[in-house]
């Protein structure tokens, strides 16, 4: 199943955060949703031509003061099949000081979906902007829409042969000179790692495959949620990223029809939105600009009410300061997300705050990295 090793000359050109030039800096990595173009699977489930914009544009306020719909500004209701859109996104990201996109990647036992935008980025060499991948390995269901039994795409794990076939696909991206690396090793995230049977064996299989391809190894990162306290190092991961939002109460049942969403004042939960540093846990800090998934979920949704760029900046400053404590070359701070419009969780310009979310990123990074420069 494994193809021939990639030429070392290509690998040596890769983006490497372990380099000497700016390894001391905290670097922001934004998760990126490639959903904004139609695919047959979504057409079948939600209607012809469906993209996330349908939910976003049709959203309505569900309680007094509820900010909906949230509408894009500079980029409009874009289609990610258009190369100029992807270039515009990168221009905005660079202006804000963001160092890379982490594209969500979908693999369902040999079947890929939503792969077109990233495949075009890979094939064209444009935009010239660093990236890494996160395997979003969970089934697509209708749970947030009150249809938990509806399975649109089921995530399964047939075994070692499928994992090696998957690695064949990933290796093409890992070899790209733009791919984000730590100490020369491609950075790869897994969204639901504990869902994978024989997780430790699978990671070991991939590390062996990486060496056969000619890579010096992999930098494997587990995505954790604050509700599951576990140490990814016990399974063979190099690091983790912890999402601490939304703060879903244990008693919250997403299948129950409600009169209003679950509403939380954003300002009141800021201190909970970044995972505290823990001894023995190598965790890349992560936070996001807000949360409101009522465009997808209606009254079953959860809302961080009165979210502002100023609130986001407070949480991001904590996350970036925590990243500053990591070793040089590994000072990554993840932001969820670049463009999760259906979750009210985005950095792209909107019609209320304009470039406010991006300005917050720029200002926080300038402050934190300014401190580093003076140390």
Distance CA 101, CA 319 (A): 17
Can you say how many angstroms the Cα of residue 67 is from the centroid of all Cα atoms in its chain? 24
Length of the chain: 375
Distance CA 85, CA 150 (A): 33
65-101 pLDDT, tens digit per residue, is 999 999 999 999 999 999 999 999 999 999 999 999 9
Measuring CA to CA, which residue among 111, 103, 238 is closest to residue 173? Answer: 103
Q: What would the DSSP string read from start to end of 183-223?
A: TTEEEEEESSGGGSTTHHHHHHHHHHHHHHHT-S--EEEEE
Are the CB atoms for 186 and 219 separated by under 8 Å? yes
Distance CA 28, CA 30 (A): 6
Q: CA-based angle 96:100:106, to the nearest 5?
A: 130
Measuring CA to CA, which residue among 125, 218, 139, 128 is closest to residue 171? Answer: 218
Strands, DSSP E only, in the chain?
Answer: 27-32, 98-108, 111-113, 131-135, 140-142, 147-153, 181-182, 185-190, 219-225, 239-243, 262-265, 283-284, 286-287, 302-305, 332-335, 339-340, 345-346
Q: How far lies 203's CA from each of 95, 189, 194, 228, in Å? A: 36, 11, 12, 20
Residue by residue, pLDDT tens for the chain (375 residues) are 444 444 433 444 455 554 434 889 999 999 999 999 999 999 998 899 999 999 999 999 999 999 999 999 999 999 999 999 999 999 999 999 999 999 999 999 999 999 999 999 999 999 999 999 999 999 998 655 656 567 889 999 999 999 999 999 999 999 999 999 999 999 999 999 999 999 999 999 999 999 999 999 999 999 998 667 789 999 999 999 998 877 666 666 766 667 889 999 999 999 889 999 999 999 999 999 999 999 998 988 899 999 999 999 999 999 999 999 999 999 999 999 999 999 999 999 999 999 999 999 999 999 999 999 888
Q: For position 41, what pLDDT does the model report? A: 93
Q: For position 227, what pLDDT does the model report? A: 66
| CATH architecture classification, 22-374 | Alpha-Beta Barrel (3.20)
Instruction: Count CB neighbours of 68 within 10 A.
Output: 18
Distance CA 111, CA 92 (A): 32
Distance CA 53, CA 37 (A): 9
275-301 pLDDT, tens digit per residue, is 999 999 999 999 999 999 999 989 888
Q: How far lies 301's CA from each of 1, 55, 251, 326, in Å? A: 43, 13, 14, 35
Taking the complete model, does pTM exceed 0.75, yes or no?
A: yes
| Nearest-10 Cα torsion for 289, 179, 134, 76 | 50
Q: For position 150, what pLDDT does the model report? A: 79
Q: For position 283, what pLDDT does the model report? A: 96
């Amino acid at each position: 199943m494994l193809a021939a090793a990639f030429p070392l000359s290509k690998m040596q050109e890769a983006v490497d955060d372990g380099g000497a030039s700016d390894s001391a800096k905290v670097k922001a990595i934004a998760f990126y949703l490639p959903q904004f173009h139609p695919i047959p699977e979504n057409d079948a489930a939600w209607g012809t031509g469906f993209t996330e914009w349908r939910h976003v544009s049709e959203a309505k306020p569900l309680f007094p003061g509820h900010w909906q719909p949230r509408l894009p500004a500079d980029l409009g209701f874009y289609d990610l099949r258009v190369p100029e859109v992807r270039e515009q996104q990168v221009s905005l990201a660079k202006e804000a000081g963001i160092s890379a996109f982490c594209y969500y990647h979908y693999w369902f036992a040999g079947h890929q979906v939503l792969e077109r935008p990233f495949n075009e980025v890979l094939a064209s060499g444009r935009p010239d902007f660093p990236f890494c991948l996160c395997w979003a390995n969970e089934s697509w269901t209708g749970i947030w829409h009150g249809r938990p039994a509806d399975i649109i795409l089921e995530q399964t794990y047939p075994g070692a042969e499928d994992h090696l076939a998957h690695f064949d696909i990933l290796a093409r991206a890992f070899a790209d000179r733009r791919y984000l690396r730590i100490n020369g090793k491609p950075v790869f995230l897994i969204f639901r790692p504990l869902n994978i049977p024989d997780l430790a064996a699978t990671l070991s299989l991939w590390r062996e495959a990486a060496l056969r391809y000619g890579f010096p190894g992999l930098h494997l990162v587990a995505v954790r949620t604050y509700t599951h306290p576990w140490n990814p190092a016990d399974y063979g991961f190099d690091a983790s990223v912890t999402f601490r939002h939304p703060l879903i109460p244990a008693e919250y049942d997403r299948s129950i029809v409600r009169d209003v969403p679950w509403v939380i004042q954003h300002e009141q939960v800021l201190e909970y939105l970044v995972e505290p540093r823990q001894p023995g846990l190598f965790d890349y800090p992560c936070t996001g600009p807000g949360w409101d998934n009522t465009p997808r979920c209606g009254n079953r949704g959860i809302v961080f009410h009165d979210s502002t760029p100023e609130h986001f900046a407070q949480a991001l400053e904590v996350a970036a300061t925590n990243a500053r404590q990591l070793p040089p070359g590994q000072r990554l701070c993840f932001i969820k997300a670049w463009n999760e419009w259906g979750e009210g969780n985005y950095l792209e310009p909107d019609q209320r705050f304009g470039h406010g979310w991006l300005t917050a990123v720029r200002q926080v990074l300038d402050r934190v990295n300014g401190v580093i420069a003076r140390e």
